[in-house]
Amino acid sequence: MDTDRLDAALTAALEEVEPDHSGETSDYLDDVAGRQRDGLAAAVCTVDGHQASAGEAEHAFALQSVSKALTYAVVLEEVGLDAVLEHVGVEPSGEAFNHLSLHDDGRPYNPLINAGAIMAHALVPGKDAQTRAGLLLDRYSAMAGARLEVSEGVRAAESARADRNLGLAHLLADPGVLPIEAREAVDGYLTQCSILVTAPQLAVMGATLAAGGVNPLTGERVLQEWVAEQSLSVMLTCGMYDATGQWVAEVGVPAKSGVSGALLGAVPGAVGIATWSPRLDERGNSMRGIGIFERLSERWDLHVLRHRGALAGLRGAD
Ligand code: GLN
């Protein structure tokens, strides 16, 4: 593969969105040292291990809600589909990310809204918070092919603003469906939100999902194939909060956004894509990140629902 072509496409997309400084940054950044409200980076990693990046590729930012998709994958792998589905559903909520959105039986609608993500975190195996955080860091690092770390600064800024998440966790704990104590579940969830990545590392995580669970750089099978498929399914239907329908219609790539301005996309069988640009639209999605994805989807023909491919599978079937 000609990686110069990948580099050129990324650079062109970045140049086009660069002048847009609209949108606001998330309030937690007010308390984070070294924040760069107008930072911009993008990276890709193909399922056969070709990488390209543009912009501030060295800058590490917090995963924030992108971690929700990654923890969902880890708990599917660790405890299995049935146990996970007993605790959290797979339906888009159509509500904001921090809305309660519970089914009548007390299960959060999906793992990519806060209530569902707190529940998913509570399913991570481990006797205490440290063990659970350690397992997540290990698994995230295996997906990224790099040793990742938690930002204590981000974690402190998030902990100072945890009232709503604590409220959600207590409402989950009240009917007895939250497997661990509410405070511990929120602390753990905010710790995973505070894990730092660069755009190239995040693109490798996306490539691991796109490659059916095998990290294309290290060759390690991090997730079983069905786990990658389940995670990508939920990302496609729920990954952009209450803007997911529009996202699928326009971009058509399973994705997950975070209030740090992170955006992760994975095109099965093709590529992981990551962008970082902290200014957000009113739904909490990165303004320029969306702009880059729109351009790359168009340029590389990435929409996963375009008519192609499946007939070959049918022809091969007996
Ligand atoms: N830490 C944030 C929260 O739960 C993550 C939100 C997000 O990225 N949308 O409040």
pLDDT at position 169 over 80: yes
Say if CB 3 and CB 52 are below 8 A apart: yes
- d(CA 279, CA 257) in angstroms, rounded, equals 12
- d(CA 300, CA 310) in angstroms, rounded, equals 19
Ligand 1 centroid, distance to 248 Cα (angstroms)? 22
Say if CB 79 and CB 125 are below 8 A apart: yes
- d(CA 95, CA 40) in angstroms, rounded, equals 28
Q: What is the mean pLDDT of residues 161-189?
A: 95
- Supply the pTM of this predicted model: 0.96
- d(CA 22, CA 278) in angstroms, rounded, equals 10
What pLDDT was estimated at residue 260?
Answer: 97
Q: What is the mean pLDDT of residues 33-43?
A: 91
What pLDDT was estimated at residue 261?
Answer: 98
pLDDT at position 49 over 80: yes
Which residues in 6-142 belong to E strands, given as ranges? Answer: 41-46, 51-55, 61-62
97 lines ligand 1 (CB under 6 A): yes
284 lines ligand 1 (CB under 6 A): yes
What pLDDT was estimated at residue 246?
Answer: 96
What pLDDT was estimated at residue 98?
Answer: 85
Say if CB 190 and CB 114 are below 8 A apart: no
Please give the DSSP secondary-structure letter assigned to residue 29: G
Q: Which of 26, 65, 197 to mutate to test the pocket of ligand 1 (most atoms within 8 A of CB)?
A: 65
pLDDT at position 93 over 60: yes
Please give the DSSP secondary-structure letter assigned to residue 263: E
Q: How many CB atoms lie within 10 A of CB 205?
A: 30
42 lines ligand 1 (CB under 6 A): no
What pLDDT was estimated at residue 308?
Answer: 73
259 lines ligand 1 (CB under 6 A): yes
Confidence bin at 317 (pLDDT 50/70/90): low
